[in-house]
């Protein structure tokens, strides 16, 4: 019995556990990780057994944790119903959304179980298996946009929460500045899609990016690979950049320069 609940081991086997109109948390989370992080469920034990390395291993674990947090939010908001059934069998009952108001949901996803009486204690012995409403989960999963391959910038953010926070702050500052600029700007003729995706977020050609950041083409692509510069978007067969993303990168670099000056 103990072996059954070794964290992540359940993702290595074909699960025979069923419940009418529901699927196990193991099954549901395995599908989410496959779709969002790009890992097969059977890879999870290896991912969490890998040593801490401040590199690929940690990035993989971080991506899985982000998926767990994403799904937990749906449970806590009551948008996807969850259920508990005693281990071994018995009456299945709904799990209140507040039982998902926990600091670290990852242990539950690792075993697909929890203690229904001592639900906030991750160390409490498991008493129930967790199930998910099949229809609402599958509708939600189908609605998620596939993330595609992670860029170097996204991998950096997965590894470094402080960097992720700094970039979020820079992006908010730029968004606020662009919004203020638009409020005081003279009305312009309607723009085509190739000029703007949304109001205040113009698309820049490579030449316009070069003029804005004062880098040549080769330097821009080097900085995409090595310095977190935003990736381009292919539109109509040419590369363009979101102006807000480029400005946010500049704001981030200016802020870093200020910090170095203080030091």
What are the backbone dihedrals phi and psi of residue 182, each rounded to the nearest 5 degrees, phi first?
Answer: -70, -30
Task: Quote the tokens at residue 72.
Answer: 């937990």
Q: In whole angstroms, what is the distance from residue 173 CA to residue 167 CA?
A: 10
Query: pLDDT for 150-198, tens place per residue?
Result: 566 666 666 676 777 777 777 777 777 777 766 665 554 444 333 333 3
Query: pLDDT for 16-69, tens place per residue?
Result: 677 888 999 999 999 999 988 888 999 999 999 999 877 788 888 988 999 999
Task: Quote the tokens at residue 219.
Answer: 């330097």
Contact 129, 17 (CB under 8 A): yes
Residue with structure tokens 């402080």?
A: 162
Mean model confidence pLDDT for the chain: 83
pLDDT of residue 222: 87
> Would you give the distance in Å from CA 145 to the centre of its chain?
11
Question: pTM, whole model, 2 decimals?
Answer: 0.59
pLDDT of residue 191: 40
Per-residue pLDDT band at 8 (split at 50, 70, 90): very high
CA distances from 91 to 47, 85, 87, 200 (A): 34, 6, 10, 55
CA distances from 139 to 48, 77, 262 (A): 29, 16, 50
Share of the chain above pLDDT 70, in %: 81
pLDDT of residue 154: 66
Query: pLDDT for 61-88, tens place per residue?
Result: 988 999 999 999 999 999 999 999 999 8
In 3-state terms, the chain is what percent helix, strand and coil (to 5)?
A: 55, 15, 35
- Which of 42-51, 52-61, 217-226, 244-253 holds the top average pLDDT? 42-51
pLDDT of residue 99: 96
Q: List 45's β-bridge partners, or say none.
A: none
Domain spans, the chain:
3-143, 152-262
Q: In whole angstroms, what is the distance from residue 60 CA to residue 45 CA?
A: 12
């Amino acid at each position: 019995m103990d072996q059954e609940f070794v964290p992540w081991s359940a993702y290595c086997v074909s699960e025979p556990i069923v419940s009418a109109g529901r699927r196990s948390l193991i099954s549901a989370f395995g599908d989410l990780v496959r779709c969002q992080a790009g890992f097969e469920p059977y890879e999870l034990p290896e991912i969490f057994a890998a040593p801490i390395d401040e590199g690929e291993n940690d990035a993989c674990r971080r991506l899985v944790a982000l998926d767990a947090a994403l799904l937990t939010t749906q449970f806590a908001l009551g948008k996807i119903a969850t259920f508990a059934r005693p281990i071994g069998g018995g009456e299945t009952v709904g799990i209140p959304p507040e039982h998902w108001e926990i600091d670290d949901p990852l242990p539950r996803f690792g075993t697909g179980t929890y203690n229904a009486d001592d639900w906030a204690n991750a160390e409490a012995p498991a008493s129930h298996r967790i199930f998910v409403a099949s229809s609402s989960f599958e509708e939600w999963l189908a609605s998620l946009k596939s993330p595609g391959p992670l860029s170097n910038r996204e991998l950096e953010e997965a590894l470094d929460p402080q960097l992720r926070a700094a970039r979020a702050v820079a992006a908010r500052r730029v968004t606020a500045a662009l919004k203020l600029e638009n409020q005081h700007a003279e009305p312009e003729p309607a723009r085509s899609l190739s000029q703007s995706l949304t109001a205040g977020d113009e698309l820049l050609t490579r030449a316009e990016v070069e003029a804005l950041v004062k880098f040549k083409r080769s330097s821009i692509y080097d900085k995409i690979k090595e310095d977190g510069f935003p990736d381009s978007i292919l539109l109509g067969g040419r590369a363009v950049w979101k102006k807000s993303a480029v400005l946010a990168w500049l704001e981030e670099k200016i802020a870093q320069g200020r910090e170095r000056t203080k030091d």
